[in-house]
Amino acid sequence: MSFSEKPIGIFDSGLGGLTLVKAIKEKLPYENIVYLGDSLNVPYGDKTPGQITEFAFWNTQFLIEKGVKAVAIACNTADGTARREIQECFTLPLVGVIAPAAEKAASLTRNKKVGVIATQAAVKSGAYERALRSYLADCQVFSAPAPRLVPLIEAGKITSEDSDTVEALREYILPLRDKGIDTLILGCTHYPLILELVKDIVPGMNIVCSGTASIGALTEKLRAAALLNTSGVRGTAEYFVTGDPTEFGRHAGVFLGENIEGKVQKA
């Protein structure tokens, strides 16, 4: 196997990063994938920076041992908190989710007022503010921590009938709308699952999904390092979790758009 045919490693705290896996399967179909969901430690959003950095190290190390050629941090919380440390310690190409989402939002906003909903730890890291201002220096950024969303989404409460999810979203998003934002970043890779609910709350708003927004950056990074898989052979994917593989497999389908029950392994 040539080096470019080696898999891309992707990690998240749980199921959310599968939204990036889905995008890779659609846009880069020849790429092989090794996914790690750190479901034993989900949610990351209420953990300390030290804990999140430790998890991110362990996850990256695990993927490297699986022989990956590059790592995508499909978790805003880990990207915002531990990205620099990981980049300093590992030499392989690394792609996050925050910078690509910020770049897209900066290109979409007309009034330079951008809202971000994300986990508590991701908001606390200030990474979205920094990234947005690096693309649009006078951008006003309004961030709201949304601690109830990841547990609700992991529990499968993602429809308009799930009133606790709709109420939480209204509580987090409406104050941002009232600040006059014209663009909202869903700064957590779990949130694409509730995109339709968000659209109902703020119709007409520009909405940027982190995770899927990073597919362009990932493609560029691989191309620049001559690591794009051009074999012409449809890629395969392996799924590992630190928690319960059966439970993960049961819920993965809705994130991935395909059933992987029985195919998830214990890390």
Q: Tell me which residues touch ligand DGL (CB under 6 A).
A: 12-14, 16, 42-45, 75-77, 119, 122, 150, 188-190
Specify whether 89 is catalytic: no
Residue 44 near residue 76, CB atoms below 8 Å: no
Least Å distance, CB 1 to ligand DGL, is 30
Residue of 75, 89, 139, 209 marked catalytic: 75
Given the complex with ligand DGL, which of 7 and 14 has the nearer CB atom?
14
Per-residue tokens: 104:
């897209």
Per-residue tokens: 151:
């547990």
Given the complex with ligand DGL, which of 6 and 80 has the nearer CB atom?
80
Residue of 89, 139, 188, 209 marked catalytic: 188
Given the complex with ligand DGL, which of 75 and 202 has the nearer CB atom?
75
Least Å distance, CB 154 to ligand DGL, is 8
Per-residue tokens: 82:
């531990």
Given the complex with ligand DGL, which of 44 and 142 has the nearer CB atom?
44
Least Å distance, CB 151 to ligand DGL, is 8
Residue indicated by tokens 């928690």: 243
Least Å distance, CB 48 to ligand DGL, is 13
Least Å distance, CB 16 to ligand DGL, is 3
Given the complex with ligand DGL, which of 129 and 229 has the nearer CB atom?
129
Distance between CA 183 and CA 162 in Å, rounded? 25
Specify whether 209 is catalytic: no
How many Å separate Cα 85 from the centre of its chain? 18
Least Å distance, CB 135 to ligand DGL, is 20
Distance between CA 54 and CA 4 in Å, rounded? 28
Per-residue tokens: 191:
């949130």
Distance between CA 214 and CA 201 in Å, rounded? 25
Given the complex with ligand DGL, which of 43 and 245 has the nearer CB atom?
43
* Sheet order of strands, 206-209 included: 140-145, 113-118, 183-187, 206-209
Active-site annotation, residues: 75, 188
